Structure 1
């Protein structure tokens, strides 16, 4: 089986936490690797962002990333990428045309921009299209914070077209199935649930010595309690919620020995890491919060191991990969009770779920675990077993079954294609 994966707006080889790279990048590279190891040949098409990348990157046997030139390498925001859809699609078509005998059994597109390209290629190549949205405009708008910019109606329309025209839709959770049906009138019969995983060989529990070393390397006091945030710095991910909750905790107890780690980079056209550094200063937390640049998974392990708690205050998450990685390292999670996080986190067993984003509520939840060492440690131990139920190998196995189902679908002829819009 040969699969064309489309990830137009961000390469799976990019560092998560930088710009538009995040959980989707982690999902694509890990499922692609595991599919390749099962014998499925995977080509991931993405937009070239620097000439040094080369056209083809051989990642491992059966897996390569193909960089397609579409627009300038740099200076093109994600919001401007719709102007390059035709150029990107043309680049993919040219790549295949110039390699005699190259053909795909199916297309798997990720995110709505890629889906629009995949929709065109599906009809051109006469192969099934599997689409994973990862995030949805209607859902983001329903859950966005007060100061967050709403997603455009143009994006929502494009997503509706994909829901109507893709042969199969892949989601992370049953909750996403309900959202697709409620917001996009999707046919539940063509939706497949494939939970993401965690690299449980890389993200492992740390010993007491690991924690000490991690804190030394990060410049964190050994005897402080530590709460960490890992992810892109944008309103939707909620770092401002954690900062305000931390200020509330210190207002209650100015002498508390607490430190906060914020690990990530700015994301979005108007986003800036200085926004959150300035907020920390305004809240009197300049000496209590440590900002770290995004780092590769091999180094991210030490951030999780250095923390007593990982906070995930997002306004919505299709699953919550950070929560799963943290739990795999034996660190309990305090997360918002939104999207797939109630599945990623076992409430009361491996962490706590907070309903809403009120800083006082978040301060209450964090204090519960910060002040109860026995309960927090027990949750961390339970978290390892919980995370072990989710693996990328299992995710890839389910995806392979989805591809097999797609191959068995009789594609509609010209009279059977649904109208656009």
Structure 2
């Protein structure tokens, strides 16, 4: 059953009123970090881009993230600042250890002098715990964005390392946050069916893409340019995976599929670039898997790339692969399409919204090596179809922008303010 999110409401913006001041919580990873490394991923991009887009329309945004002692605040522009909140041991802190230090983070933010704020917007469950407490102390509405959901991960990935503590926190947030934003209709439905959220308190806020960075015209980069020796194929299908190296993101699926192709379809020539670094559990050893599948000549492991270089990789690729077990949206898929590159994506969650099956890419029904080998082989032997989908992908990406995302976010803030006033004593 589809649960329709609430229609948008636009925030009143009287000419002489003070700018709305937002306290944005992104605690376990900084919006300043390089996506694809550590715990940094699409959420980092989301928080930074939305904050900057809202600032361009007049809002003030203070972003709070956990950081080492002595780290100074950083201004992204005159209206957006990132504050590093010290908590726990000095130096790096694993995401898994952060929940034990949330009370300290709450106290430091509450005791700071950054406000006063008009609204709190938390991202991911650990930030949401702090957001609930700050909303109570400051008597402010809380808008929360889950980004991913533990129950969904458990359902789609049997060995998902998701704690009961997280499930309980997400359940409380689904019921107690003033409003929830969902990245896709699929996520909105999951909030209702898995967590009991009220559909009337959910706003659909679709992520955008930076079209100034991700577009078809510009430099192209491939493995030889990155210092790797290209494979022996004369005209291989160039395949890119970009993201954190963890089981949830599925790079191992691609290697198993390429191994199967090498054994059963030697006529199919593919070259794979995997761009990212290991994250979370360290038991995913792609270098070992490459050796097992004897893919040393065609599969290349590369470090995370800044956005402009990532766009160059996408332009050079024939296809970008997103074999994730779950995605609330699939930012990489949309960035690739904006560069004119079609996407092979797992038919799940928000990827069904990001990728138009048969038009801007192909949705693969499952994560078996057989299904992905078939999809890759079809792309390699139907280059005209791949090129056609790339042209369509560019046109479709123009319907997504961070300004649209910011506008929808502001509408959710407006509803949260109304909802908060209605329940105030």
Fold in common (TM above 0.5): yes
Deviation string, structure 1 residues 62-115 (Cα, Å, up to 9, x no partner) = 10001111112434211111110011111111213xx5xx30000000000000
Matches within 5 A, 1:81-230: 81-96=98-113, 102-144=115-157, 146=158, 148-206=159-217, 210-211=219-220, 214=222, 216-218=224-226, 219=228, 220=230, 223-230=235-242
Question: Among residues 309, 315, 320, which one is paired with 1:299 in the alignment?
Answer: 309
* 1:40 counterpart residue number: 59
**Alpha-carbon separation, structure 2, partners of 1:413 and 1:177:** 23
Secondary structure in 2 aligned to 1:360?
helix
**Alpha-carbon separation, structure 2, partners of 1:248 and 1:86:** 49
Q: In the alignment, is residue 61 of structure 1 matched against residue 74 of structure 2? A: no
TM-score (norm 1): 0.92
**Alpha-carbon separation, structure 2, partners of 1:60 and 1:75:** 26
Unaligned segments of structure 1, at least 5 residues: 417-421
**Alpha-carbon separation, structure 1, partners of 2:420 and 2:254:** 50
- Is contact 2:28-2:65 (8 Å) kept? yes
- Is contact 1:233-1:271 (8 Å) kept? no
Shift in CA distance, 189/248, structure 1 to aligned 2, threshold 3 Å: same
Shift in CA distance, 49/15, structure 1 to aligned 2, threshold 3 Å: farther
Shift in CA distance, 271/41, structure 1 to aligned 2, threshold 3 Å: farther
Secondary structure in 2 aligned to 1:103?
coil
Question: Among residues 289, 292, 307, which one is paired with 1:279 in the alignment?
Answer: 289
Secondary structure in 1 aligned to 2:111?
helix
Secondary structure in 2 aligned to 1:286?
coil
RMSD of aligned residue pairs (Cα, Å)? 1.7
- Is contact 1:309-1:334 (8 Å) kept? yes
* 2:255 counterpart residue number: 243
- Is contact 1:20-1:268 (8 Å) kept? yes
Shift of 1:255: 4.9
Question: Among residues 356, 359, 366, which one is paired with 1:349 in the alignment?
Answer: 359
**Alpha-carbon separation, structure 2, partners of 1:87 and 1:410:** 27
- Is contact 1:244-1:359 (8 Å) kept? yes
**Alpha-carbon separation, structure 2, partners of 1:270 and 1:61:** 39
- Is contact 1:215-1:306 (8 Å) kept? no
Equivalent pairs, count: 402
Shift in CA distance, 247/214, structure 1 to aligned 2, threshold 3 Å: closer
Secondary structure in 2 aligned to 1:261?
strand
Task: Name the structure where helix makes up a greater proportion of residues.
Answer: 1
Shift of 1:30: 0.5
- Is contact 2:67-2:85 (8 Å) kept? yes
Unaligned segments of structure 2, at least 5 residues: 1-19
Shift of 1:217: 1.4
* 2:338 counterpart residue number: 328
**Alpha-carbon separation, structure 2, partners of 1:117 and 1:152:** 18
Deviation string, structure 1 residues 299-331 (Cα, Å, up to 9, x no partner) = 111111121110100000000000000000000
**Alpha-carbon separation, structure 1, partners of 2:400 and 2:378:** 27
**Alpha-carbon separation, structure 2, partners of 1:50 and 1:245:** 45
* 2:3 counterpart residue number: none
Q: In the alignment, is residue 270 of structure 1 matched against residue 289 of structure 2? A: no
**Alpha-carbon separation, structure 1, partners of 2:192 and 2:418:** 24
